[in-house]
Amino acid sequence: MSRGYTVAVVGAGLVGERLVAELRRRDFPIEELRVLARTARRVEMAGETFDVGVAEPEAFEGVDYALFAGTEGEKGAAVQLAREAVARGAVVVDNGSDFRLDPEVPLVVPEVNAHDLEGHGGIIANPNCSTTQMVVPLAPLAREFGLKRVVVSTYQAVSGSGRSGVEALEEGREGVYPKPIAGNAIPQIGDIGEDGYSTEERKMKAESRKILGLPDLVVHPTTVRIPVHTGHAESVYVETERDVTLDEVLGLLGSAPGVTFSGAADAIPTPLEAAGDPGTHVGRVRVGERTVEYWCVADNLLKGAATNAVQIAEALAGARAAKARA
């Protein structure tokens, strides 16, 4: 009997490294782990040495799960290779934005909509980091009280832009952000569109609607890059359809899967505590008659990317094993 699956991690950047670390930490059953990128070389990732292979169609022969963390767009790994991997029998979990809004592709945060994995066509999308951490605490509020409107402001770390973002902060690399990031706060992530919203803000609107299954949900995001290495923070204001009480909200958040909450409404989780931790940390909880406000912080490279992707792979492997037993 096989001891596990053949898994490919595509991309040897910040997310690729966290994917390797999370696969190991969560003890995903692996027979063979391949790391693929644009160029072949030997690298240290998460305490292991890998002979990185070139990401090309043949590299996916025999792969059961391919976790993509390459760059996005037409020339990126997912657009070029995801369907090639699926054609060779792999199930793809993609960290980028290329497939997220494709109606045929489930966009999944396992604590919220694992049911959307059923009947997938071979590609599953991992949501944008700022969306993932917003919906983990939002989903139980949506179920219990109904949602009318969400207003969110983000405080996003530079590692959300990959290695180049970290270099912009630590080495003053130019051309990564529209203004210097050190000592600053930049209220633009991605390009600003004709509607006045940035790419990141449009992702938060569209992706949260898809994950929560609320296509008409009104979401008003403002996304801001700040000079923090890792850990995105968000201030979220929610208008509900039904009356809420503080006790109900504290109880819901205290038992919500994926939420790390001390139970104290005035808790002040920060990126320094969230970095390196897979949970979505919640604090500063306030309620009005039909409003809830909260602050949430999560590691953008973990729950915002690698942890969520590995959780999806675990759910897929669990379903596969259950089917084999039936």
Ligand X SMILES: NC(=O)c1ccc[n+]([C@@H]2O[C@H](COP(=O)([O-])OP(=O)(O)OC[C@H]3O[C@@H](n4cnc5c(N)ncnc54)[C@H](OP(=O)(O)O)[C@@H]3O)[C@@H](O)[C@H]2O)c1
CA distances, 281 to each of 62, 137, 180, 284 (Å): 38, 9, 29, 11
Q: How far apart are CA 318 and CA 66, in angstroms?
A: 16
Please say whether the beta carbons of 249 and 285 come within 8 A. Answer: yes
Nearer to ligand X, 9 or 244 (CB): 9
Q: What is the dihedral of CA 267, 273, 278, 280, to 10 degrees?
A: 30
The residue nearest ligand X at its CB is 13
In this structure, what token pair is assigned to residue 201? Answer: 């803000």
Q: How far apart are CA 198 and CA 17, in angstroms?
A: 28
Decide if residue 311 touches ligand X (CB under 6 A): no
Closest CB 323 distance from ligand X, rounded Å: 29
First-residue to last-residue Cα distance in the chain: 17
CA distances, 303 to each of 132, 206, 273, 300, 321 (Å): 7, 19, 14, 6, 25
Nearer to ligand X, 13 or 251 (CB): 13
Q: Which of 46, 71, 117, 315 binds ligand X (CB under 6 A)?
A: 71
Closest CB 166 distance from ligand X, rounded Å: 8
Binders in 285-304 for ligand X, by CB under 6 A: 300-301, 304
DSSP state letter for 90: P
Decide if residue 73 touches ligand X (CB under 6 A): no
Burial of 322 (0-12, 13-18, 19+ CB in 10 A): exposed
Decide if residue 59 touches ligand X (CB under 6 A): no
Decide if residue 40 touches ligand X (CB under 6 A): no
At position 290, the amino acid (one-letter code) is: R
Decide if residue 77 touches ligand X (CB under 6 A): yes
Site size for ligand X (CB under 6 A): 29
Q: Which stretch binds ligand X (CB under 6 A): 66-74, 174-182, 195-203, 248-256?
A: 66-74
CA max distance for the chain: 58
Q: Which stretch binds ligand X (CB under 6 A): 33-41, 133-141, 198-206, 242-250?
A: 33-41
Decide if residue 167 touches ligand X (CB under 6 A): no
Nearer to ligand X, 143 or 163 (CB): 163
Closest CB 73 distance from ligand X, rounded Å: 9
Q: What is the dihedral of CA 26, 78, 322, 116, to 10 degrees?
A: 100
- 232 belongs to the catalytic site: yes
Q: Which stretch binds ligand X (CB under 6 A): 26-34, 70-78, 100-108, 234-242?
A: 70-78
Decide if residue 20 touches ligand X (CB under 6 A): no
The site for ligand X (CB under 6 A) is made up of: 10-16, 37-39, 55, 69-72, 76-77, 80, 95-96, 129, 159-160, 162-163, 300-301, 304-305
